[in-house]
């Protein structure tokens, strides 16, 4: 997803959960809204004059690092590309349905109050699941046409590799949860960043 005027409201993987709005002071909300508007203006300016815009963009992001996630999420860029491959360009409604389904999957897999690692692995599981759906569709589409043995082998190999990555992410999430439940992973804070360590 490229920077634009629409904020990405999806929960970033590995990012702390969004703050409860009722717990934020009115002054804090106003400051955040001003920073968002200023960053929007600077991102537009950067398209024409990067030399002047970049230092100001860096300053805002150093003061409000969460805004980088809200304007652009690298993990979801790949997701949006895959959704684009699976739908027609003008079929915006179907694309929105896909995004809604994937968001629900991420939330269900991550569970309540997930750790940063659990959110990251939930993202990975959903991403690989989406790849599987696309590759399965492409393989099935090719089978209905004349497909050479080499082409069939290529599609099957790609599917097998994606299945393995998908299952690997699932196993990793199960292992992380087992370690967290058993207290084998300790969470510590370094410079306001949560770090997980095994011990």
pLDDT value, residue 143: 78
Neighbours of 143 (CB within 10 A): 12
What percent of the chain lies above the pLDDT cut of 70? 71
Per residue in 150-163, pLDDT (tens digit) is: 888 999 999 999 99
- pLDDT at residue 43 tops 80: no
Position 1 confidence tier, pLDDT thresholds 50, 70, 90: very low
Q: What is the pTM of this model?
A: 0.63
Q: Are 32 and 56 within one domain?
A: yes
pLDDT value, residue 195: 45
Distance CA 121, CA 125 (A): 6
Q: Are 193 and 97 within one domain?
A: yes
Q: Which residues pair with 186 in a beta bridge?
A: 197
Mean pLDDT, residues 96-120 taken together: 91
Q: How far is CA 167 from the centre of its chain?
A: 19
Contact 122, 173 (CB under 8 A): yes
Q: Are 141 and 186 within one domain?
A: yes
Which residue range forms the structural domain that includes residue 116? 74-198
Position 188 confidence tier, pLDDT thresholds 50, 70, 90: very low
Distance CA 61, CA 68 (A): 7
Ramachandran region, residue 13 (left: φ > 0; alpha: ψ -120 to 50; beta: rest): beta
Distance CA 36, CA 31 (A): 9
Would residue 133 count as lying in a domain? yes
pLDDT value, residue 5: 45
Q: Are 93 and 53 within one domain?
A: no
Structure tokens at 177: 């949860």
Contact 162, 139 (CB under 8 A): no
Q: Are 47 and 121 within one domain?
A: no
Q: Which of 66-70, 97-101, 195-199 reaches the highest mean pLDDT?
A: 97-101
Distance CA 199, CA 193 (A): 19
Q: Which of 25-29, 87-91, 116-120 reaches the highest mean pLDDT?
A: 116-120
Domain count, the chain: 2
pLDDT value, residue 38: 77
Q: Are 49 and 135 within one domain?
A: no
Would residue 168 count as lying in a domain? yes
Q: Are 88 and 49 within one domain?
A: no
């Amino acid at each position: 997803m490229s920077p634009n005027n629409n904020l990405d409201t999806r929960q970033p993987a590995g990012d702390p959960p969004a703050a409860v709005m009722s717990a934020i002071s009115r002054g804090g909300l106003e400051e955040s809204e001003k920073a968002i508007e200023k960053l929007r203006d600077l991102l537009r300016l950067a398209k024409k004059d990067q030399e002047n815009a970049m230092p100001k963009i860096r300053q805002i992001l150093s003061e409000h690092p969460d805004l980088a996630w809200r304007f652009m999420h690298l993990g979801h860029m790949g997701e949006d590309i895959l959704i684009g491959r699976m739908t027609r360009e003008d079929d915006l409604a179907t694309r929105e349905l896909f995004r809604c389904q994937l968001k629900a999957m991420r939330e269900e897999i991550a569970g309540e109050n997930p750790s940063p690692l659990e959110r990251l692995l939930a993202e990975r599981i959903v991403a690989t699941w989406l790849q599987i759906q696309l590759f399965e569709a492409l393989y099935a589409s090719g089978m209905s046409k004349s497909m050479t043995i080499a082409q069939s082998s290529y599609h099957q190999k790609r599917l097998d590799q994606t299945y393995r990555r998908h299952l690997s992410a699932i196993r990793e999430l199960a292992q992380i949860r087992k370690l967290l439940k058993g207290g084998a992973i300790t969470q510590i804070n370094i410079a306001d960043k949560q770090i997980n360590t095994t011990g």
